């Protein structure tokens, strides 16, 4: 579920609560989430270190680690991706848990312990966990982020124009391409295209310069709004992404289709 704004919430949670606490143990036994690492590999690399800084580009995070006693050289970076259903849960020494990155359905499900797919135990008794029902999140050492495009929240209008590029690919598919722009997910893409009144399926080479400009500003506004309101699911058109819904702007029927391989909703009138 997490898109850029939710991942930023998770990053900020780690920055505020998980840094400078000594790592005493690591549960990396879920080899699907930690692939291609083998069990114990992350534990051996992390125990005795502290998390020292946390970064994010798009939906990817990486955490720097300290040296160990006797070897001050920094340790490996710990890469974390929340996937479709991951959240970060940080527990204070006293046991109080705070979470970040999820679709805030509090109390929606019981917290099955096996949904903690990766856990760092701190020496102070607290912990950091990747909580992930669908298990599509990933944790790995020294992640390669070189394939990611510029962060969607930091890209300039000029870069955006260049990155949207040429070709016949649907504009929504291009928005979702993390190697071009990092951080836009399915909901943010639908929201930005709806705000900009652009049909998600039109080829990028059919967009006029003013369309691209409108899309850029709509995307920035959607990111700001999502950050301020708690996530991509708070977008204006998001509640109307279902059968029988009508566009909240003009009352026209909402259309549905698959664009860029993802479930897509658009206004039949203004995004025709």
Partner DNA sequence: ACTCGTGTTAGCTG
Partner DNA sequence: TCAGCTAACACGAG
Is the Cβ of residue 114 or residue 158 nearer to DNA in the bound state? 114
Q: Residues 169-188: x/- map of binding to DNA (CB under 7 A)?
A: xx--xx-x-x------xxx-
Q: Residues 52-91: x/- map of binding to DNA (CB under 7 A)?
A: ------xxx--------------------x-xx-------
Q: Which residues, in sequence order, are CB contacts of 64 under 8 Å at separation 6+?
A: 51, 52, 53, 54, 55, 74, 77
**Spatial contact of 29 and 43, defined as CB atoms under 8 Å apart:** no
Judged by CB under 7 A, how many residues of this single chain contact DNA?
A: 40
Q: Residue 221 and residue 195: Cα distance in Å, rounded?
A: 9
Rounded to a whole number of angstroms, the minimum distance from the CB of residue 124 to DNA is 30
Pairing of strands 127-132, 116-122: antiparallel
Half-sphere exposure of 69 (CA within 13 A, CB side): 4
Q: Residues 6-45: x/- map of binding to DNA (CB under 7 A)?
A: x-------------------------x-------------
* Residue from 231, 237, 247, 271 in contact with DNA (CB under 7 A): 231
Q: Residues 137-166: x/- map of binding to DNA (CB under 7 A)?
A: -x--------x-----------------x-
Question: Of all helices (H) and strands (E), which one includes residue 120?
Answer: strand 116-122
Rounded to a whole number of angstroms, the minimum distance from the CB of residue 165 to DNA is 7
Position 98 contacts DNA (CB under 7 A): no
Peptide bond into 193 cis (omega under 30): no
Buried b (16+ CB within 10 A) or exposed e, 179-208: ebbbbbbbbbbbbbbbbbbbbbbbebeebe
Tracing tokens 């029927």 back to the chain, one arrives at 253
* Residue from 135, 214, 249, 255 in contact with DNA (CB under 7 A): 135
Position 168 contacts DNA (CB under 7 A): yes
Is the Cβ of residue 93 or residue 165 nearer to DNA in the bound state? 165
Is the Cβ of residue 31 or residue 93 nearer to DNA in the bound state? 31
What are 91's two structure tokens? 């527990």
**Spatial contact of 9 and 85, defined as CB atoms under 8 Å apart:** no
Give residues in contact with DNA (CB under 7 A). Answer: 1-3, 6, 32, 58-60, 81, 83-84, 103, 108-109, 115, 133-136, 138, 147, 165, 167-170, 173-174, 176, 178, 185-187, 231-233, 260-263
């Amino acid at each position: 579920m997490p898109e850029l704004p939710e991942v930023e919430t998770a990053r900020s949670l780690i920055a505020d609560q998980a840094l400078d606490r000594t790592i005493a143990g690591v549960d990396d036994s879920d080899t699907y989430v930690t692939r291609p690492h083998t069990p114990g590999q992350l534990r051996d690399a992390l125990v005795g270190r502290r998390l020292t800084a946390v970064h994010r580009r798009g939906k990817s995070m990486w955490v720097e680690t300290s040296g160990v006693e006797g070897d001050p050289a920094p340790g490996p970076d710990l890469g974390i991706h929340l996937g479709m259903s991951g959240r970060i849960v940080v527990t204070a020494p006293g046991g109080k848990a705070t979470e970040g990155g999820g679709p805030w359905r509090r109390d929606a499900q019981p917290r099955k312990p096996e949904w903690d797919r990766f856990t760092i135990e701190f020496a102070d008794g607290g912990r950091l966990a990747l909580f992930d029902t669908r298990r599509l999140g990933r944790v790995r050492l020294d992640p390669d982020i070189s394939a990611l495009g510029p962060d969607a929240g930091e890209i300039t209008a000029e870069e955006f124009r260049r990155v949207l590029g040429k070709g016949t690919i649907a504009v929504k598919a291009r928005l979702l391409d993390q190697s071009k722009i990092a951080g836009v997910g399915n909901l943010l893409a639908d929201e930005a295209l709806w705000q900009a009144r652009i049909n998600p399926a039109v080829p990028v080479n059919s967009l006029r310069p003013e369309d691209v400009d409108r899309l850029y500003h709509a995307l920035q506004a959607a990111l700001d709004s999502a950050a301020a309101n708690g996530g991509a699911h708070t977008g204006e058109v998001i509640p109307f992404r279902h059968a029988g819904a009508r566009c909240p702007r003009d009352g026209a029927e909402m259309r549905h289709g698959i664009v860029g391989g993802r479930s897509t909703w658009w206004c039949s009138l203004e995004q025709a």
